[in-house]
Amino acid sequence: MQAARPRTQARYNYAFVNQPEFNAAAACTGAAAPVLIVDMAARRHARRRHKGLPVNPRLDLLQPYPFEKLRALFDGVTPSPAHAPISFGIGEPKHPTPALVREAVRASLDGLASYPATAGTLPLRHAIAAWLQRRYGLPSVDPATDVLPVAGSREALFAFAQTVVDASRASDAGGPPVVLCPNPFYQIYEGAALLAGAQPYYVNSDPARHYVCDYGTVPHDVWARTQLLYVCSPGNPTGAVLSLDDWREIFALSERFGFTIASDECYSEIYFDECNPPLGALQAAHALGRGFERIVMFSSLSKRSNVPGMRSGFVAGDASILKRFLLFRTYHGSALSPVYQAASIAAWGDEQHVCDNRRQYVEKFGTVTPMLADVLDVTMPDAGFYLWARVSRTGLDDCTFARRLYADYNVTVLPGSYLARTAHGANPGRDYVRIALVADSAECVEGARRIVQFCQSL
């Protein structure tokens, strides 16, 4: 094995022995950069013997998070001092927090003197149930049994797999339980599956289907072992939205094989056609005349209301599953602060600030997308605040594109291969970059102008 070069080396590319699937995603080689070989087995051994402490061996299955990979990619790079930094890398909303939320927080500070209930307050559950009925046209949502506030959807998406996956249950097909997820995907799905003792199975997004997964490619024996399916609509990073026919297929598979559906709908309120909001899982179930059996949807105020620091969201759907999830979270979960519960009631009860938020995204995407389409293969997404741009026509792969753009123009984008895994002979994120248009309009336009200039300079 090639010895690791010292950390004083100016630039590195990273190759990971014993993890070929990570190499395919992360070891994008630049022309001038040497390769740093990282022995993952040695890293795991070092962690295990650290201070002699026992650890959960499943932790060793976790891969570096995309932003850790990005830091490694940028290691040793000094961006051009001629340009102020612009980050399109992290999907953190930057629009102002609504005044009504700030006021609700200030008015509720006395709540800091009380422990919160894991199940949330009844007024908050009523506010969530009412919003679900308004937004999705649902005839009835029981606030006592059909909804559960959570401390952000990230925590809930992870904890949910620990609740519904039974690693001890042998399937007729043999092998460990399977958790299916889209590819590329929100990395929490994979970590949740691995730590629940399941095997992740990646269903590649299909550009020919507008980046919707083709579940017809999944073998029967995999479906037979599947206990949980993560669905993300609108998708991260693609922005793809599932149609009623897509949901019909998913529900039929769930009924046939008995797995639970976890529908991540955190981007549902950022879309570009006011007459055509994204279809949700519970809405689709109602439209198809079925109940909420084996369906749980996840939503959040972070993107909808520009309050990522509140970590406020909810889950809704199958009451029998939510009852077990509440039991799990009673021991594991972080209950939402009484202050933030009060602020969440205000946020879920108001739509004007959400409409104002959408208008800002419509303006940014309407301006930036055609600018970038002159130099990259990119189109308006169905929803969400990401552009999923193919960079192949520049002659660079996604990692080299991101590294050189950062070095030359101080603009950060996220390589698409960092958000995906090599599966079925391909990494569906390769040669794409994710561009998060979360800053104000002027900054987004300036960032796009620099990307255009960079591409034209190649």
Asked if residue 434 is part of any domain, the answer here is yes
Cα torsion angle, 430, 432, 438, 443, sign: positive
Q: What CATH number has the domain bearing residue 83?
A: 3.90.1150.10
- Look at residue 169 in the predicted model and tell me its pLDDT: 80
| DSSP code, position 423 | B
- Residue range 98-112: average pLDDT? 97
pLDDT in tens, 201-218: 999 999 999 999 999 999
Q: What CATH number has the domain bearing residue 291?
A: 3.40.640.10
- Look at residue 377 in the predicted model and tell me its pLDDT: 98
Asked if residue 182 and residue 331 are part of one domain, the reply reads yes
Contact status, residue 24 vs residue 422, Cβ threshold 8 Å: yes
Contact status, residue 410 vs residue 115, Cβ threshold 8 Å: no
| DSSP code, position 337 | P
Asked if residue 140 and residue 52 are part of one domain, the reply reads no
* Percent of the chain surpassing pLDDT 70: 88
Asked if residue 411 and residue 290 are part of one domain, the reply reads no
Q: Which residues of 427-452 are buried (b: 16+ CB within 10 A; e: fewer)?
A: bbbbbbbbbbbbbeeebbbbbbebbb
Asked if residue 415 and residue 334 are part of one domain, the reply reads no
| DSSP code, position 7 | T
Burial class, 197, CB count within 10 angstroms (exposed 0-12 / middle 13-18 / buried 19+) = middle
The pLDDT of residue 18 is above 90: no
pLDDT in tens, 417-442: 999 999 999 999 999 999 999 999 99
- Residue range 46-53: average pLDDT? 57
pLDDT in tens, 121-179: 999 999 999 999 999 999 999 999 999 999 999 999 999 999 999 998 866 667 899 99
- Identify the CA nearest to 317 among candidates 348, 284, 350: 284
Spatial distance between the Cα atoms of 403 and 454, rounded to a whole number of angstroms: 12
Asked if residue 325 and residue 367 are part of one domain, the reply reads no
Which of 46-50, 281-285, 393-397 comes out lowest in average pLDDT? 46-50
- Identify the CA nearest to 15 among candidates 321, 3, 314: 3
Domain span at 182: 99-350
Whole-Å CA distances, 11 to 20, 26, 77:
22, 15, 7
Asked if residue 251 and residue 158 are part of one domain, the reply reads yes
CA torsion, ordered 324, 329, 335, 340, to nearest 10 deg: -50
Neighbour tally for 142: CB within 10 Å: 11
The pLDDT of residue 22 is above 70: no
Asked if residue 304 and residue 361 are part of one domain, the reply reads no
Asked if residue 433 and residue 407 are part of one domain, the reply reads yes
Radius of gyration of the chain (CA): 22
Asked if residue 368 and residue 323 are part of one domain, the reply reads no
- Identify the CA nearest to 203 among candidates 192, 193, 212: 212
More confident residue, 41 or 214: 214
In the numeric block, which tokens belong to residue 37? Answer: 């070989």
Asked if residue 129 is part of any domain, the answer here is yes
From 350, 385, 407, give the residue that closes a domain. Answer: 350
Asked if residue 4 is part of any domain, the answer here is no
pLDDT in tens, 390-421: 999 999 999 999 999 999 999 999 999 999 99
As for how many domains the chain has, the answer is: 2
Asked if residue 1 is part of any domain, the answer here is no
Asked if residue 272 is part of any domain, the answer here is yes
Asked if residue 187 is part of any domain, the answer here is yes
Band (30; pLDDT cuts 50, 70, 90): very low
Asked if residue 378 and residue 238 are part of one domain, the reply reads no
Band (360; pLDDT cuts 50, 70, 90): very high
H or E element that contains 281: helix 281-287
Asked if residue 121 is part of any domain, the answer here is yes
Asked if residue 334 and residue 275 are part of one domain, the reply reads yes
From 328, 350, 372, give the residue that closes a domain. Answer: 350
Half-sphere exposure of 197 (CA within 13 A, CB side): 12
Q: H helices then E strands: how many in the chain?
A: 16, 15
From 350, 373, 400, give the residue that closes a domain. Answer: 350
In the numeric block, which tokens belong to residue 330? Answer: 């009673």
Asked if residue 244 and residue 200 are part of one domain, the reply reads yes
Contact status, residue 153 vs residue 264, Cβ threshold 8 Å: yes
Asked if residue 301 is part of any domain, the answer here is yes
Contact status, residue 261 vs residue 226, Cβ threshold 8 Å: no
